[in-house]
Amino acid sequence: MSPQLRTLVDVVRSHAARRPDTAAIICEGRRIDYATLHRVTNQVAHGIQAAGVRAGDRIAYLGKETEQFYELLFAAAKTGAVLVPINWRLAADEVEHILRDSGSVLLFADTEAMAVAQRLRPELPKLTNVIPLESGFTAWLATHPDVNLLARVTPDTPLVQMYTSGTTGLPKGVVLAHRSFFAVRNALSTAGLDWIDWREGDRSLIGMAGFHIGGIWWATQGFAAGVTNVVVREFTPAGAVELIRTLGVTTACMVPAMLRLLLAEPGVTSADFTTLRKVIYGGAPISAALLARCVEGFGCEFAQIYGLTETGNTAMCLPPADHTPEGGKMQAAGRPYPGFEVKVADSEGNPLPTGEIGEVWLKTPAAMLEYWNLPDATAKTLVDGWVVTGDAGVLDEDGYLFIRDRIKDMIIVAGENVYPAEVEHVIGRHPKVAESAVVGVPDERWGEVVYAFVAPVEGETLTERELALFLKGKLATFKQPLRYEFVEKVPRNPSGKILRRELRERFWEGHERRVS
């Protein structure tokens, strides 16, 4: 990457000049080259400004993946606005919270999301306009010029606000600057390392959605490298295999559950993946058995990435060279990029000796700016330049990190983050529920699933079906418990905190790691 590329504005302007005819995006057969991407994002930027959006304002996107999502991302960069990607799987109440909390003034929604968007709009006084992506975007775009509109942005200018669930039960807005999407590339380039590398002619599959930090981060890496990015409207294993085979995809980023589904797709053989040279995976731990199957089935290099939304995605990497049984590192999360740091700390933040389990702290130039409007929560996570992760891990003598548990009890269902408090809050709204406790339990297909312990109000009876019907539409499907267990009471310690570790124990016996 050229040293002058420090913001997304630099990226699209530079590649429009250097490689105008190279496809920047391929989506459902539509091809947008870098010159066109530059022109269209100028139009979108003018349209955003004409709608009254100013630098620092939030604009939201609610819908499945299309080229328009990335056009909005670059347009936000050009105006200094901040893009708020919203998970289209969320229930209406969850979408409303994000729109209200972010103060978004403009919302772009696809056809499937328009009903929710229009229903919520009267409740959100700051939301001045909702623009339909399929039926109205092209006409809206045509009314605006394609002349350059480049705001004065720096690497520290906010770019996106990603919502991640929190232990309080309400999602928090993680504000990330332009630098969050360039730090890893700069570190690897400066050190001459090819852990995550790019080559002329690469075609990159964006397997994860842009409302995930992994998806938007991976896409920006491809754009910064000037390669072709293959956008998937909604991931399906059959569709991904077809794209890899027909478009000659060379590199991809996916969560382990996606890799498992690709290998299990009927009729698929290693011949379908001959163009792949490297797969980046992360977002959830991977089992030793699945990793071995991936190495054999895909026949390419693998690199694992580890980090959080709060760290701007990856802060550590397990390079391809460590993906061999002989090295004993295949179950490690990785080691820091050059210039990044990791420590395993005690409850006071003091480093623990090698081999002792403690909380993982990460120091990265890609760290978030803040949790939006939550200074106390920000201060607890950003401490003296470190990001406090809430994960429990151990460092070996070579400086490799092994994750052992989640201090903050987060559950990862096929790469989707679920926090127990959020689910418990909604379950507790049922009139027959006295209390509940939610934990993650191992699952062969999804890595983990949500398991709920529910104590009914005295004298009442409950069924799984009754609770499942109650939760429908109130929580995203992946957050809803797959299994229930009815109990007299939820176990708590003397201070009243739920003893989640005790509840999880029987499900994780025999597992080396208490994550799956």
pLDDT tens sequence across 107-131: 999 999 999 999 999 999 999 999 9
Same domain (yes/no): 399, 421: no
Let me know whether 486 and 402 are in one domain: no
Asked whether residue 48 falls in the same domain as residue 97, the answer is: yes
- Tell me: do 147 and 47 sit in the same domain: yes
* pLDDT confidence of residue 495: 56
Q: Quick one: 64 and 167 in the same domain?
A: yes
Q: Do the Cβ atoms of 177 and 159 come closer than 8 Å? A: yes
Average pLDDT, the chain: 92
d(CA 309, CA 368): 8
The upper half-sphere exposure of residue 79, i.e. CA atoms within 13 Å in the direction of its Cβ, equals: 30
Q: Taking residues 235-256, what's their average pLDDT?
A: 96
Place of tokens 């507790």: 428
Helix (H) or strand (E) holding 68: helix 67-79
Q: How far is CA 48 from CA 162, 163, 289, in A?
A: 20, 22, 48
Tell me the pLDDT band of 59, cut-offs 50, 70 and 90.
Answer: very high
CATH number at residue 373: 2.30.38.10
For residue 432, tell me if it sits in a domain: yes
Q: Between residues 336 and 169, which one has the greater pLDDT?
A: 336
Same domain, 39 and 135: yes
End residue of a domain, out of 127, 143, 175: 175
Query: How sure is the predictor about 444, in pLDDT bands with cuts at 50, 70 and 90?
Result: confident
Instruction: Please tell me the predicted confidence (pLDDT) of residue 121.
Output: 94
Residue 133 forms part of a structural domain: yes
Alpha helices for 2-61 (secondary structure H): 8-18, 34-50
- CA of residue 240 relative to chain centroid, distance: 19
Which two structure tokens, joined as six digits, stand for 205? Answer: 């599959």
Q: What is the pLDDT of residues 15-49, one digit of tens each?
A: 999 999 999 999 999 999 999 999 999 999 999 99
Average pLDDT of the residues in 79-103 = 95
| Residue 325 is assigned to a structural domain of this protein | no
Is 224 inside any structural domain? no
The answer as to whether 123 is a domain residue is yes
Q: What are 331-381's pLDDT values in tens digits?
A: 899 999 999 999 999 989 999 999 998 999 999 999 999 999 999 999 999
Percent of the chain with pLDDT over 90: 75
Same structural domain for residues 382 and 415? no
Give the C-alpha separation, 185 to 191, whole Å.
Answer: 10
Alpha-helical runs (H) found in 80-165:
92-102, 111-120, 133-142
125 inside domain = yes
- CATH number for the domain including 458? 3.30.300.30
> What distance lies between CA 336 and its chain's CA centroid?
19
Helix, strand, or coil (residue 232): coil
Dist CA 354 CA 6 (whole Å) = 36
Name the band, by pLDDT with cuts 50, 70 and 90, for residue 3. Answer: very low
Domain boundary among 144, 175, 206: 175
Predicted pLDDT of residue 148: 86
Q: How far apart are CA 231 and CA 208, in angstroms?
A: 9
pLDDT digits (tens, 9 = 90+) for 205-217: 998 999 999 999 9
> What pLDDT score does 166 carry?
52
DSSP string, 284-312: S---HHHHHHHHHHH-SEEEEEEEEGGGT
pLDDT digits (tens, 9 = 90+) for 308-319: 999 999 999 999
For residue 1, what pLDDT band results from cuts at 50, 70 and 90?
A: very low
Q: What per-residue confidence (pLDDT) applies to 162?
A: 98
Within a domain: residue 14?
Answer: no
Q: Which domain holds residue 443?
A: 411-508
Helical pair 34-50 and 8-18, crossing angle rounded to 10 deg: 140
State how many domains the chain has.
Answer: 3
Q: Taking Cα atoms as reference points, which of 220, 226, 250 lies closest to residue 20?
A: 226
> Which residues are within 8 A (CB) of 285 and not within 5 positions of it... i.e. 6 or more apart?
256, 333, 403, 412, 447, 513, 515, 516
Verify that 426 and 390 share a domain, yes or no: no
Same domain, 463 and 344: no
104 inside domain: yes
Across residues 249-271, what is the average pLDDT?
93
Q: Which of 364, 385, 406 is the last residue of a domain?
A: 406
pLDDT at 229 (0 to 100): 98
Residues 415 and 402 in one domain: no
441 and 397 share a domain?
no
The verdict on 402 and 415 lying in the same domain is no
The per-residue pLDDT for range 380-438, each reduced to its tens digit, is 999 999 999 999 899 999 999 998 877 778 888 888 878 787 888 889 889 999 889 99
CATH of the domain at 72: 3.40.50.980
Share of the chain above pLDDT 70, in %: 96
Any alpha helices (H) in 132-269, and if so which ranges? 133-142, 183-191, 213-225, 237-247, 256-264
Determine the average pLDDT of the residues in 130-151: 87
SS3 state of residue 122:
helix
